[in-house]
Amino acid sequence: MDNLIKENIDNKEIDLLKAKATQVREDLIDMFYHSGKGHIGGSLSVVDILVVLYFLIMRVDPKNPKWKERDRLILSKGHASAAWYATLAEKGFFPKNLLFTQFIKVGGILQEHSDMRKVPGVDMSSGALGQGLSIALGMSLASRLARQNYRIFVILGDGEMQSGQIWESLMACSHYKANNITILIDYNKMQVNDCVSKIMEIEPLSNKLLSFRWNVSEIDGNDVTQIARALNNSCNNSTDFPTAVICHTIKGKGISFIENKVKWHSGHFSEEDHSRAKKELAGIKD
C-alpha cells in the first residue's frame, strides 16, 4: 500500500494535532454536561488516537462519507462514542451543534452507541463489546474480493480484550493475512467496576499478540507523536500479518480530578465539575 504520511511530521503538525485534541476534549465536556450522562473516562483516554487518525492518517471525505475507497474506522469499544462524534464533527462530517442537542437525546442521531444508518462517517454500529475485530476481518476480506485499497483501523478497549471473540478474531486475522487491519488497544488499565488486572488479567498482552503472529508495538497512547509514528509504520506494513498497537493511556486524560478514577467510567457532570474541567482545558488556574 502507498505511504500515507511522510516519515517525520513537523512541529506545526504536532501543534495542530494537540490543538485538535484539546478542542475535542472541550466539546466532550460540554456534551456530557448538556446530556447529563455519558462514558466520560474512556472517551477522554481515546481522544488523541482519534485525532491522529482523522487529521493525519485516514483517507476520508466528509463530503462523501460513503466513498468506496475510504479508510474504515471501527470503534469496537462503542461506549466511547462521544469522543468519536466530537472528532467527526471537528472533521466536518456533520454540524457541531448536534453534539450538544442530540447526544443521548430521545430522537437524536447521536446515541451512546453509534448507529451507522444515521451518523455520517460511522462504519459500524456498536453494542455488545467484542464484535469489532470480527467485522473488521469481514471488511478486509471484502476489500480483497473487490480489489479495493482501503485500510481498517479498530479501537479496542483493554477490558474488551477479556472477550473470547476478540481472540478468535485475532487468530482468524493472522490466518487470512489481513495485513490492512490495524488495531489500537486503549490500555487505560480500568474498566467499569475496577482495574482490569483485578477483574481479569490480560498480561502479558504483547507476548500473546505476538504468539498470534501479529506485528506489535507499544506506545504512549496520549502522545500524538508516538501515535503518528506507530500508525505510519502500520500503514507501511510489508509483512503478511496485521498490526497491533498497544496504546498505554490515562483514563480521563486531560481532566485532573477524573484521571485514573474508576468512578468516572460513566456518570454526569455537575455545574461545578463542568466549570472546573473547562478551566483546566483552557489552562486557567484558580
Compute how many other C-beta atoms are within 10 angstroms of the C-beta atom of residue 36: 12
Distance CA 125, CA 95 (A): 20
Amino acid at 179: N
* pLDDT bucket at 9, cuts 50 / 70 / 90: confident
CA 218 vs CA 114, 183, 207, 257: distances in Å = 28, 12, 11, 26
Ramachandran angles phi, psi of 153, nearest 5°: -110, 135
CATH fold of 11-282 reads Rossmann fold (3.40.50)
Helix (H, G, I), strand (E, B) or coil at 218: strand
d(CA 98, CA 68): 26
pLDDT-derived band at 5 (thresholds 50, 70, 90) equals: low
pLDDT (mean) for 212-219: 98
Rg (CA), the chain: 18
Judge whether residue 2 has pLDDT over 50: no
Alpha helices for the chain (secondary structure H): 11-35, 40-45, 47-52, 81-91, 98-101, 132-146, 164-175, 196-199, 205-211, 224-235, 271-282
pLDDT for residue 6: 53
User: Is the Cβ–Cβ distance between 110 and 119 less than 8 Å?
Assistant: yes
Distances (CA, A) of 258 to 39, 120, 236, 253: 12, 30, 36, 8
Closest CA relative to residue 245, chosen from 202, 187, 174, 201:
187
**Residue pLDDT, tens place only, 228-282:** 999 999 999 899 999 999 999 999 999 999 999 998 888 888 899 999 999 999 8
Please choose, from the candidates 160, 164, 151, the residue with its C-alpha nearest in 3D space to the C-alpha of residue 123: 151
Averaged pLDDT for residues 112-136: 95
Strand partners, 190: 195
50, three cell numbers: 482519534
Structure confidence at residue 193 (pLDDT) = 87
CA distance 119 to 139: 19
The model scores a pTM over 0.85: yes
Q: Identify the burial level of 87 via C-beta atoms within 10 angstroms of its C-beta, where 0-12 means exposed, 13-18 middle and 19 or more buried.
A: buried
Mean pLDDT of the chain: 94
Q: What is the mean pLDDT of residues 68-91?
A: 97
Whether the per-residue pLDDT at 142 is higher than 70: the answer is: yes
Give 145-150's long-range contacts (Cβ < 8 A, gap of 24+).
146/68, 148/68, 148/69, 149/1, 149/2, 149/69, 150/59, 150/69, 150/70, 150/71, 150/72, 150/180
Go through the chain and tell me how many residues it has: 286
Single out the residue of 161, 191, 207 nearest to residue 45, CA to CA: 191
How many other CB atoms are there within 10 angstroms of residue 107's CB atom?
6
More confident residue, 3 or 120: 120
Phi, psi angles (nearest 5°) of residue 49? -65, -45
